[in-house]
Amino acid sequence: MPWLTLLPHYWQSVLLTSVNGSPHVVDEQAELETFTAQLRAARRRLRVSQEVFGPALGVSALAIGSWETGKDTPGLCNFVRWCEALGYAVDVTGFSSDTVLVPRADELFDAFHIRRLMRALAEAREAKGLTQPQVGAALGVSGWSIHMWERAFRVPRLLRLIAWCPVVGCRLTIRAR
C-alpha cells in the first residue's frame, strides 16, 4: 500500500489494526485489479471493443482503457454499471442478512444497487457491534462520513468501499449472473 506512507503515522496504525485489535490489512488495489481483470476478460469474451463498450456505458473508450489497465479507478456508480453491463452483480458477502431491498418507484438502477450495498455494510457493522465513528476511525474518515454513506446520501470511493468491508467482517465481490 504505497499510499499508506503518505498518511500520518496515527492513521497508518489505524488502517492496519481494526477496532477490535485484530489486523485487517487489505490491499485494495490488488482487490480492484482482480475485479478489473475479470471485467476485462468478460468484455473480451463478448468480443466488444473499448470503443463500442465505453459509449454504451456512458463513458469514453479511454475511460474503459484506463480502468482496465489500472491507470484510473471508476467511481462506484460506474463500477456497478460496468459490472452489470457485462453480466456481473456486485455483492457484499461474508455475513447473513434477512433484509430484502426492492427498488423504489423512481429510483435509478445504480442508485438502488448502491443503496443495497450500503445497507449490507450497515447491517454488517451493526452485527459486529461497531459504531459509525469506530468504522470511520479504522478507515481514516469521520463517523459522519460513514453515516452519510450508509444512508446512501453520499457515495464512497470504490477503494474506500473495498477497505471498509473487512473492517465490518465481510468482503466486496463480483459474481456472474
**Per residue of the chain (177 residues), what is the pLDDT tens digit?**
444 444 443 344 444 444 445 445 568 889 999 999 999 999 999 999 999 999 999 999 999 999 999 999 999 999 999 999 999 999 999 877 777 778 889 989 889 999 999 999 999 999 999 999 999 999 999 999 999 999 999 999 999 999 999 999 999 999 998
Beta bridge pairs of residue 174: 90
Q: Give the pLDDT of residue 137.
A: 95
Q: Which amino acid is at 111?
A: A
Quickly list DSSP for 31-82.
Answer: HHHHHHHHHHHHHHHTT--HHHHHHHHTS-HHHHHHHHHTSS---HHHHHHH
Q: Give the pLDDT of residue 27.
A: 83
Q: Give the pLDDT of residue 97.
A: 74
Closest CA to 150 of 135, 137, 166, 138: 135
